[in-house]
Structure 1
Amino acid sequence: MSNFSYIRGLGYHVPERVYTNADLEKFVDTTDEWIVSRTGIKQRHVVENETCLDLTFEATQKALKDSGMEADELTHILVATFTADTVIPSAACLLMEKLGLSNRIPMDISAACSGFVYALEVARALICLHPDSKILVCGCEILTSRVNWEDRSTCVLFGDGAGAVILTAENCQNSGKVIDVLLSSEGEGETLNVRGGGSAYPYKLGDTVGENHFIQMQGRSIYRKAVRSMSAISLEILAKHGFTTEDVDVLIPHQANMRIIEAVGKKLEIPSEKVFSNVERFGNTSAASIPIALAEAKEVGVIKNGDLVLLATFGGGLTWGSTLIQF
C-alpha cells in the first residue's frame, strides 16, 4: 500500500473588509511604524458579516474547482480551527450541511496555528486505511473574535481567513505529492492560550467577558520556541528523505510575523527569495495561515511543477510540524 497522498486542488478565501495599520491607529494605541518594524504586517482581512462557515465554504468551492471535482465526491471533511461558529455542532458538520452532503465523516481538529498540518496528517492516515477516500482539509479562523483590541501587543497580529486542499490517493496531472508529515508537541499551556469559555473557566449567565476570553501570548518566548522548533523539525523531515535545504525550492513557514519567518529561513540557510510570505497582507491567520499561503503561492506561480515545497508550522499547545510536498 502506498503511503503517499496527493493534493488535487487548493483554494483560499478572505473577507473583503481590510484593516490597515492606519485603521488600527484610530482605536488602538499603536502606529504603523511600530507594527511594521516588529511584525512586517501592513494589513489584515476582518470579517464583517461572514462566519467561519462562510469562509470555509468559499475556500472549499475554489479547491473543488481547482481539482475538477464535485462536492458529492468528498468522503471526509476535516476543519482545523479553534474559532468555529458553535461549540456544537462542529465546523466540519456545518460545512458538510452547507455543501449539501450527508452521511460523510466530518470532524474538527484543534492544534491552534499548527491545526492544518495536523489535519493533513490525519487525512493521510485515513487515505492509507481507505484508499478510495477523497478528503477535504480546511484551515479556518475568525481570530478577530478572540483578540482583545485593548491589548496592543496581540491585536495587531491577527486576521481572518480560510484555506482548503483536497487530498486523495490518486495521482492526477498537476497534483502535489505529500511525501511526509512530521509532528511534535511540548504540552504547555502558559505561553499561548485562550482560556475563557473552556470547562475549567466557565461563564455563568450574566457574567461579563473577561480578558481570558481572548488570546493571551508571551511574545518573546513564542519567538524563540517557534524558530527553534520549526527549524529543527524541518531539518529532520528533510534528512529522513535524503534531502538538504539546498533541495528546497519553496519554504512556506507559518505566517506568524516577518521576524519569525525570516529567522526560520536564515536558520535553515534557505535564501530569502525561496521563502514565501504573505503575512504583510493577511496577518497571522492561525490554522488558515499555511493553506492560504500554499494556495496563493501555487496560484501566482511561485510554486511550479517539479518544485519541492517545505511547510513549517508552530502553534499553541505547544504544537509544531513540517510537511514535504513534491509538485
Structure 2
Amino acid sequence: MGKVAGVRVAATGSYVPDQIVTNEDLAALGCDSEWIVRRTGIRQRRRAADGEATSDMCYEASVRCMEKAGVTADQIDLIIVATMTPDHPTPSTGCHLQRRLGVTAPAMDVNAACAGFMYGMITAAQFIAAGNSKCALVVGADLMSRTVDPEDKKTYPLFGDAAGAMLLVADENATEGILSYQVGSEGCGGEMLCVPAGGSRTPLTPDTYAKRLQYLTMDGRNVFKWAVRLFAESAKDVLADAGVDSSELDMVVLHQANQRIIDSAVSDLNVAPEKVFVNLDRYGNTSGASIPLAIDEAVREGRMKSGDLVLMCGFGAGLAWGTALMRW
C-alpha cells in the first residue's frame, strides 16, 4: 500500500484504429455472435491497419493528450509506455515514441499486460513525488489482434487494439493526488495467461509456429474467478487505507475485460451502476490501453470532473494487478 501527493492529471487522450470488427464479422471464423455478447458483453472491437504498430497508436493518443493539456514536447521529462505488444523486443516502444514526438527525456516500457497502465501511472507518480519529473507522459497501448490466435474461437473475439495516454504533472496544491494505491503479483498463476513462445525460454522455431505457441493462451474460467476475487479484495484494501467509503466514489474505472467481471465487482463494492464506466461493448479487451481509453472517454463525456474521487483497477497476465484511488 502507498500514496502519492503533489500529483495531478493534466490531460488524457486516446486513439482507436478506424476498422470496426463486429461479432457478425467474426461469424466467418466460426464465432457465435450471441455467445460472445452473452458471455462477455462485447459487440465490436477495433483492428489496426496493416503496417500500423503499437508505437503508431501511442503517438496518436499522446498528441491528442498533449494538445488538450497545452503541453509541448520540450516540457515532457519522462515517458513510460505500458505494453505487452512492443514494436520490437528492443528498442523499447517508449524510445520509438520519444523519437517520434521529438521529446528529450528518459523513456521506457513496462510490461504488466492488462495491469500495465496502473503500474506505469504509479511509477510516473513516484518519479514526480521524488522530484525527478515534473511532466510525465504515461501511455497504455496494445495491438492484441496480432497476439491472439484467429483459430481460437473463445479467445480471439475478446480483444481489440487501442492506445490511451495521460499526462501527470507536479502540483503542490494537489495535496491528495493518489490517496492510496496497491500493486501486486501472483506469479504462481502465470500459466493462466501466457504467450508460450518467442522468448529465451522457448524461442520461435518452425515447430513452435506449427503448434501456434506464438499466440496468447488463456484459462478463461480460472482467470475470471481470480479477477473477481482480486478486485473485491484490492478495492476494499485501498478504500480502507484511504479512509473512504465506497458510497463516496464518483467514478469506478475497471480493466474492461468482461462485463460479468465488472457486474460482479459493482455488486461486491456496492456502487451504483451509473458510477461504473463501461466501454467494453465497443472496444473489447484492449489490455494496457483499457483503463486510459475508458478514462479519456469518461472525461470527454463529462462523467469525470475536478475533485471527483476515482477508483481504478487493472488486472491480468502475470498474474498482476494495480489499484488506485485518485482525487481527480
TM-score range, shorter chain: over 0.9
Q: CA deviation at 1:274?
A: 1.0
Cα deviation for residue 204 of structure 1 reads 4.0
Distance in 2 between the 1:168 and 1:304 partners? 17
Residue of structure 1 in register with 2:185 after alignment: 185
Gaps of 5+ in 1: none
**Which residue is equivalent to 1:84?**
86
- Show the counterpart of 1:247: 248
For residues 266 and 184 of structure 1, the distance between their equivalents in structure 2, rounded to whole angstroms, comes to 23
Q: What is the deviation of 1:270?
A: 0.8
Q: In 1, Cα distance between the equivalents of 2:141 and 2:207?
A: 30
Mapped contact 1:149–1:155 kept (Cα < 8 A): yes
Q: Which amino acid aligns with 1:71?
A: A
3-state SS of the aligned residue for 1:212? coil
Query: Which SS does the other structure have where 2:209 is aligned?
Result: coil
SS of residue in 2 equivalent to 1:313:
strand
Displacement of 1:255: 0.1
- Alignment-derived partner of residue 93 in structure 1: 95
- Gap change, CA 1:67 and 1:171, over 3 Å in 2: farther
Aligned residue for 2:108, secondary structure, equals: strand
Higher deviation after alignment, 175-184 or 12-21:
175-184
Pair 1:299 & 2:300 matched: yes
How far residue 132 of structure 1 moved from its aligned partner, in angstroms, is 4.5
Tell me if structure 2 keeps the 8 A contact 1:230–1:321: no
User: What CA distance in whole angstroms lies between the structure 1 residues aligned with 2:60 and 2:25?
Assistant: 26
Secondary structure at the residue paired with 2:204?
coil
Residue 32 (structure 1) aligns with: 33
Which is worse superposed, 201-210 or 269-278?
201-210
- Any residues of structure 2 matched to 1:20-59 within 5 Å, and which? 20-26=22-28, 28-49=29-50, 50-59=52-61
Q: Distance in 2 between matches of 1:126 and 1:132?
A: 6
In 2, distance between residues paired with 1:288 and 1:305?
22
Query: 1:75 is matched with which residue?
Result: 77
**AA paired with 1:12?**
S
Give the 3 Å change call, closer, same or farther, for CA 32–91 of structure 1 in structure 2. Answer: same
- Larger deviation, residues 273-282 vs 299-308: 299-308
1:206 CA drift (Å): 9.1
Verify the 8 A CA contact 2:197 2:208 in the aligned structure 1.
no
The equivalent residue for 1:280 is: 281
2:110 and 2:295 map into 1 onto residues whose CA distance is 19
Partner residue in 2 for 1:12: 14
Tell me the matched-pair count: 323
TM-score if structure 1 supplies the norm length?
A: 0.94
For normalisation by structure 2, the TM-score amounts to 0.94
Report the Cα distance in structure 2 between the residues aligned to 1:32 and 1:206, rounded to whole angstroms: 33
User: 2-side partners of 1:193 and 1:246: how far apart?
Assistant: 37
Contact persistence 1:15–1:161 (CA under 8 A): yes
Are the aligned partners of 1:81 and 1:140 in contact in 2 as well (CA < 8 Å)? yes
Matching residue's letter, 1:183: V
Q: For the Cα contact (< 8 Å) 1:7–1:178, is it kept in 2? A: no
Percent identity, aligned pairs only, is 38
SS of aligned partner of 2:114: helix
Distance in structure 1 (CA, Å) of the matches to 2:210 and 2:64: 36
Q: Could you tell me how far apart the structure 2 residues matched to 1:204 and 1:53 are?
A: 26
Question: Which shifted more, 184-193 or 108-117?
Answer: 184-193
Task: Give CA-to-partner distance per residue, 1:277-310, whole Å, 9 cap, x none.
Answer: 0000000000100000011101111112322111
- Runs of 4+ with deviation above 6 angstroms: none
Q: In the alignment, is residue 111 of structure 1 matched against residue 120 of structure 2?
A: no
Q: 2:310 aligns to what?
A: 309
Give the whole-Å Cα distance in 2 for the aligned partners of 1:207 and 1:117.
Answer: 32
Alignment RMSD (CA, Å)? 1.8
What SS is found at the alignment partner of 2:223? helix
